[in-house]
Structure formats: structure tokens, C-alpha cells
Structure 1
Amino acid sequence: MESQIFELQYALDTFYFLICGALVMWMAAGFTMLEAGLVRSKNTVEILTKNVALFATASIMYMICGYAIMYGGDLFLSGIAGGDTLVEDALAASAENGFGGDSVYSAASDFFFQVVFVATCMSIVSGAVAERMKLWAFLLFAVVMTGVIYPLEGSWTWGGNDVFGLFNLGDMGFSDFAGSGIVHMAGAAAALAGVLLLGPRKGKYGPNGEIRAIPGANLPLAALGTLILWMGWFGFNGGSVLKLGDIASANSVAMVFLNTNAAAAGGAVGALIIARIIFGKADLTMLLNGALAGLVAITAEPSTPSALQATLFGVAAGVIVVLSILALDKIKIDDPVGAISVHGVVGLFGLLIVPITNPASTFIGQIVGAATIFAWVFIASLIVWGILKAVIGIRISEEDEYEGADIAECGMEAYPEFIR
């Protein structure tokens, strides 16, 4: 009987992992649509190409070395068995550890769930450097980011390893349930390093420091992308419970789904209200970024807050992201989609509010963890971007930027029937 229960839970938890992984993979479509909607029409094909190519690159690099760096094991996933060997290994591990309801699932499903997180992290970079970065420079950076930079910081956090053998973040009380810092702030740190070396888009800032808005070409597409991301986030946070096959876990999953939705709703409303106060209008782009900010904020700990707390956290995140976008613009950090604010500034906020509802974490641990993640990813990314800039260049020419990255980088236009 116990063996039958084990096999049933194994099947259920594996299936849950795969479904949640598929939802997170769907977030790639969300990022693609959001970014395509917020850039100008002459840069649409290039942003679409980047997002599809980065997902493929992340999948390959995480298979080659990323997963092994992050969690230990064999390169090329050669240690993940299939068929009868997989069944025998799972049953042996259960007997050795004593089956008592712990998480049990296929190693292949674990890899699939982890690899879509890597791609999510890299997708954050795509939008921030949009409209002026060379496609191949971006993809070469994606190789290093998804194969080494992200997996190494992941090994210090979710992997449980010491930071360069010096200290252990878990022992200090650091907690990041689904990746506000590990995934989102890390992506923003890499993006910030690239943006600082790239510089702003031509015409974004006037000679006297005035800020010129550069509207996106397709706001319906941006709205669709946001809603796709909102939906995919249920897999992002819900799957991070890691199991479903018992009452306690099922209840935790339900609470995570509830709080994820509540925080997104709060973020949307918070951003809409503060935008109305500041601009006197209902700014759609701020509304969209507010919803995403709420999602990023709750990702660090979606299981312990009440629904009301999650909503309030979301409202605060929505306000923060609008103020952050305006502040970055004032210091001439040009981020076409607001990715650094949504994922970086709000990612940090998400980490810092974890101890409010989760007593297992500490404010000191969260600060040290956030500083460690940001410092490693930012410095490592700055070095890689710097090497790429020196060797092949990372920015398209001024003429190509004027004509659009679509023609310069991809040789085609997204809307060829329209005359720019």
C-alpha cells in the first residue's frame, strides 16, 4: 500500500511540476508581447527574435552546465536517467530516506521547471536594452548569463552552497520563495549593467536634460503580454511549493495562487491611482507595470501573507514602480519597458517585506542576500558586457538605430505595409 501511495504522489507531483513549468514557459510569450508592444514598430522583429532565441539559448546552456553549477551533478544532464532506472532510483531514494510525504518527482521535471526560470531571468534583460543593442551581442551575453552567472548565484541561494566558500545565506536567515531576488532582481542587475554601457536611445533626452517620451507601437499587444504574464505567474509561484500530493501542500498551493492574484490586483490599482495623481490621466503603461510589480513583490513570499496583506504589498509595489520609473528617467537611465524598476527595485522591496509575514527570515539576512545577488550579477555582467563592447561592440550604429533594428539586424519589418 505504501508503495502505491508513493507512486501516486510521485506521478501527481511530477505532473504538477510539468504543468507549472509549462505555465512559466508561457511567460516567455508574455514578455515577448509586452516588449513588442512597448517598442517602436521599426524594432518589433528584432525584439521578437531576441525573446525566442534567448529561450532556446537558456534551454541549451542550462542543460550543458547551468543546472550542474546550480544544484550539482553531471554536465549535459547525463545523470538524469529514464525508464526502469528512473523508477528504481526513485523507489530506492524513498526507501533510504523514509517516505513520509516529502517532495518526490522526476529529476527531468525538476530540470524543466528550473530552466524556464532561467529564461525568465534573461527575458528581463531583453526589454531594458531594447531598440539599440546588437542582436548577436545580446545572445552572446545570454550564453554566459544563463550558463554561468545566474546558476552560480542560484547555487548560493536555492542550491544551499556557501558564497565563494565564505558564508551561507540560508544560515543568515535569507529566504526567497520563488525568486523576487534570485530571478527578478538578478535579471534587472544584468540589465542595468548593459544599459549603463549602452547609453540612452537617440532622442530620448534633450540637450537641456528634458525627458522625451517615446511611445510604444502597440499597446493592445502590451496589455495582452501583461495578462499572459499574470496567468503564467501562477505557475511561477505555485510551482515553487514543489508538491501538491497532500492536504497541507494543496492548501499552500491554493494560498499562493490567491496571494499572487491579490498582489497583482493591488499593484495595478496602486499604480493607476498614483499615475492619476501625478499625471492627471490613467496611464496604461503604468497600470501594466503596476500589475507586474505586484507580482514581483509577492514572489519572494506568497505563502505566508493573508490575502489582505498580499493586496497591500501589491499596492505599495505599484506606487514604488511608478516613482522608480520616473526617478530613473531623471538620471537618464533609459529603460524602454521599465524592467529595471519592475524587477529590480520592486524585487528588492519584495525581499525586504518577507520577514513581515515569515519569521524564519531576518531583515539582515534579506539585506545581505539581496546585496550578494546584486553585486555578483551586476559586476559579472558589467565585465561580460564590457568585453563584448570592446571586441564586437554592443550598440548598433546611429544610422541603423534611426532606420530601426528590424532592417539592420533581421532584414525584415514587422509591419511592411505601413510607411514609417
Structure 2
Amino acid sequence: MIRRQLNAYIQSYQGLSREIWLLALITLINRAGTMVVPFLSLYLTASLGYSLSEVGWVMTAFGTGSILGAWLGGKLTDHFGYYKIMLFSLIGSGVVFIIVQYLNEFWFLVGGIFILMLIADMFRPAMYVSIRAYSKPENNTRSVTLIRLAINLGFSFGPAMGGIIIATMTYGSLFWIDGITCLVASILLYLLLNEKDGKPVNEQMATGQKRQSAYSDLPYLVFLAIVFLTAIVFLQMFATVPIYYKTIHHLSEGQIGLLLGMNGMLIFLFEMPLINWLEKSRISKASVLLIGTLVLGMGFWVFNLSEWAGILIVSMFFITLGEMLIFPFANSFAMERSEKGKAGEYMALFPIAFSAAHIIGPNIGMQLIETHGYNFTWSMILVATAVGLGLCLYLKYRLNAEAHGNTNKKISSAVS
């Protein structure tokens, strides 16, 4: 029984291209190197002595740079190709990481953080487009899942390593190591990945056909609204939920860390086999998004059911399951949809939706808790989930109508 399950787990990783594995390795090194991000607010207050209001401006520059970087990365990817933009982003962010530690004057620091995130997040749309280039179409979702696994592992190692470095060295050391890891990732990209090994991602350009703009693709815009809404809900796990653990259930930091670590462990163990099974079952991506949205919302709503401490484990299971259902298939849907038009533009809007939620979501959760309390906040998440479900149903309707229309066109073409 155990051997059969182990074989099934191993098989879920088989069939992925060499380039996707190398891209996952580069992503792991890059994300593990972003150690300074979770400690940025501590660095600004404890090391530089800035006030909380000043930290707020820096974080605004951080989020704004992230959104504009993703948008610009998509535009430049369509113009110059994904490979050049990935290489430029890694080299550029590596250099700027090292420079930022020397910016102590407030507005210079704000500008430095903005430029850093502008360059660093140009990597994301280019990386998503590269997945489409290096992966077989039938492996798109599993390829995305492997990259997500690399990102999660990187974000798990990064903060732990960053804490050790701060305790034994200085905050400045984080910037040096972050910069060096970005440069190492760029060297690996240049040496191990060849742009010529990937297939073209904007095939319509070669035939002279006009590529559709993502901004005129209504089903894709509805999909982005779903991503934005589910991301606002999901990000409460890192914003309001730890405070809920501390203030209502009186958990220690160590216990909170274990609960949050359960998320990463479940993803590591079960996400790829789950995705592999769902792909074989031929369930539509819109249906998976609908189920994932429901499960994610339940993960927060169960807080209102009981004050029993075990409900926290139940909640984390539902939240993680919802995450595993939504985000790999959302990435895959965006990649497949981008075949209709400008790949960079499509893949830029996807991380922008998530970044926008990152700016708005935690603040909304904090405001609701402060003014109305936790129970009301979890109920509002249930309302947001209901809206998300409605959008998922509408997306399914639009996609079915689109597929039916395409079928009729093919029949009419064949008859004529």
C-alpha cells in the first residue's frame, strides 16, 4: 500500500521537461534568496529607526513597484521575449539589492525599493510565459505546480535563513546575500537554459494574424476578478489569522509557526499528486476554481463554528486545499488563455491581480477586525466567497458559450 502510494507520488512528477526542472531550480534559488522581504519592516524600524508611518510609505512603494514591474515585464516580454527579460530582471535586481542597503535617506530609500520591485517583478510574467514555451501543453498545470513548489520551498527556507543571518551577522548582510543569489540565478539561467529550446509563444505574429488584447477578453477579465477576490481571502492567512491565533486562542509564536508550517508541508506532500489526479479526471479548470473557492471560504468560516482549538487544524486543512485547487489551475488557465493573444500582456495581468490583492486584502481584514471583530470578518469572507462562486459560475457559462460558438464555426466551415 505504502509502496503503491510512493510510486503514484513519484509518477506525478514524471514527464516534465528538463527545462521546467531547471527553471524550478533557478526559481528556488531566486526565491530562497529574497530573505530581506519578510524582515523589511523590522529593518526599517529597528535598524534605520523609521516611524511606522514612514514604513507605510516604503511598503506602498514596494507594492506599487511590484504591480508596475509585472505590467512592464509583460509588455517587454511581448517585445523582446521572455528569456531576455528574465535575465535582465535577475541581474538588475541583484545589483539593486546590493545598492539599496546603502540608501539611508528616506526618499532615496523609497525610490530604491520602488526600483528594486519594478525590476524584480518583471521576472514573473516572463517566467510564466517561459513555462508555456518549455512545457508540453498537457503538462502545463503540473509544470506550474512544480514552479509553485519551488517558490514555496524558497519562501520557507528564506525567512529561516534570514533570521539566522540577522542573529549572527547584520541586516546589511541580507541585502548582499539576496543580491548574490539573484546574480547566481542569472548565471544558471544563462548557462543551463537555452531560449532556442523553447517553442514560440506568440505564434500568431508569424502568420500575421492580429493578436487579441487581454483587456478585451471578457472571460479572462472575469477570471482575473476571481483571482483578485480569492487572493484577498487567502492572504488573510498571513495577515489577520496569526493575530486571531494569538489574541483569541492564545497560541505562542512557536505554535503559530507550526500551524502556518502545516500549509507548506501539505502543499509539498499532496499538491502535485492532487493536480495529477485532477488532470486525469478531465474536470474543467473553471469547475476546479469553483470548488477551490468554496473550500477556501470554508477554511475561514469554520472559525465561527467552535472555539475548540482543533478547529484551527481543520481550518488550515481547508485553506490549504483551497489554495492547491485554485492557484495551480489559475496559472494554467492564464497560460492557455494567453494563446489567444499577447502572451506577455496576459501573463502580466495575472500577477498584477494578485499584487493588487496583496495591497488591499490585509488592510481590509485589519480594518474589519478592529471595527467589527473577528466573527463579523469571517462572515464577510463568506460573503466574498459567495461573490467568487457567482463569478466562477459566470465564467463557466461564458466558456461553454465560447466553446459552443467555436464548434458551430468549425461545422459551418466544414460544410462550406
Q: If the length of structure 2 is used for normalisation, what is the TM-score?
A: 0.31
Q: If the length of structure 1 is used for normalisation, what is the TM-score?
A: 0.31
- Higher helix share goes to which structure? 2
